[in-house]
Amino acid sequence: MSEYVCDICHCPLTRNEINAVLPSEIVDATSAGFVPSNLPKDFDAMARMLGVELSNSEVWKFTVSNNSDVDWGICRDCLVELKRW
Ligand SMILES: [Zn+2]
């Protein structure tokens, strides 16, 4: 059982596989249009639970703005994608 999951795609990770990312990097990339391509399939379930229809990108922006003061721990795949922005 792994102890960690990627904060973006929720894939299981070991401690050594985690890449710490400053929230400002996520916020800046998202402001520039970054939406992860490998979001979990149930990512928009939270919005549906609240009774609203939101696209993945809208839920993503909401998630980012709610977590803009904490470090993120993400997998290599998500890091590579983030670094393109
Ligand atoms: Zn990931």
In angstroms, the Cα distances linking 37 to 3, 33, 50, 78 are 24, 12, 23, 9
Work out the angle between the directed axes of helices 56-66 and 23-31 (0-180°, nearest 10): 140
* CA of 85 relative to ligand 1 center, distance in Å: 16
Report pLDDT digits (tens) over 26-83. 999 999 999 999 998 888 887 788 888 888 899 999 999 999 999 999 999 999 999 9
Domain chopping of the chain, boundaries: 4-83
pLDDT level of residue 1 (50, 70, 90 thresholds): low
* CA of 3 relative to ligand 1 center, distance in Å: 14
Q: Pick the closest to residue 73 from 31, 30, 17, 27 (CA basis).
A: 17
| Cβ-defined contacts of 52-60 (< 8 Å, 24+) | 60/30, 60/35, 60/36
